[in-house]
Amino acid sequence: MDEPVKLLTIGGSDSGGAAGVQADLRAWAVLGGYGMCAVTAVTAQNSVGVKGIKFMSSDFIKAQVDAVLSDYGADAVKTGFWGSREIVEDVSAWLYLYKPPNIVVDPVLVNHKGEEMFSLDVTQAYIALLFQIADLVTPNRYEAELLTGLTVKTVAEMETAVLHLHALGPKNILIKGGRDGDEIVDVFYDGDTITQLRSPYVNTSNTHGSGDTLSAAVCYWLARGVGMGTAVSRAHQFTAQAIRSGAGWRLGAGHGPVWAGTKG
Binding residues for ligand PXL, rule: CB under 6 A, are: 11-12, 14, 19-20, 43, 45, 80-81, 108, 211-212
Give residue 158's region: left, alpha or beta (phi > 0; psi -120 to 50): alpha
- Find the Cα–Cα–Cα–Cα dihedral 141, 143, 149, 150, rounded to 10°: -10
Considering beta carbons, is residue 54 or 179 the nearer one to ligand PXL?
54
Considering beta carbons, is residue 85 or 208 the nearer one to ligand PXL?
208
Helix (H, G, I), strand (E, B) or coil at 116: strand
Helix (H) or strand (E) holding 163: helix 155-167
Output the CA torsion sign for 246, 247, 251, 257: positive
CB of 1 to ligand PXL, least distance (A): 32
CB of 15 to ligand PXL, least distance (A): 9
Write the DSSP symbol of residue 257.
Answer: B
- CA 207 – CA 229 distance, rounded (Å): 24
CB of 176 to ligand PXL, least distance (A): 11
Considering beta carbons, is residue 18 or 68 the nearer one to ligand PXL?
18
* β-sheet bridge partners, residue 137: 105, 173
Considering beta carbons, is residue 186 or 190 the nearer one to ligand PXL?
186
Considering beta carbons, is residue 81 or 238 the nearer one to ligand PXL?
81
CB of 111 to ligand PXL, least distance (A): 6
Distances (CA, A) of 240 to 34, 178, 213, 262: 22, 13, 10, 14
Start-to-end Cα distance in the chain: 26
Considering beta carbons, is residue 43 or 148 the nearer one to ligand PXL?
43
Question: Under 8 Å CB-to-CB from 181, ≥6 apart: which residues?
Answer: 201
CB of 182 to ligand PXL, least distance (A): 24
CB of 216 to ligand PXL, least distance (A): 11
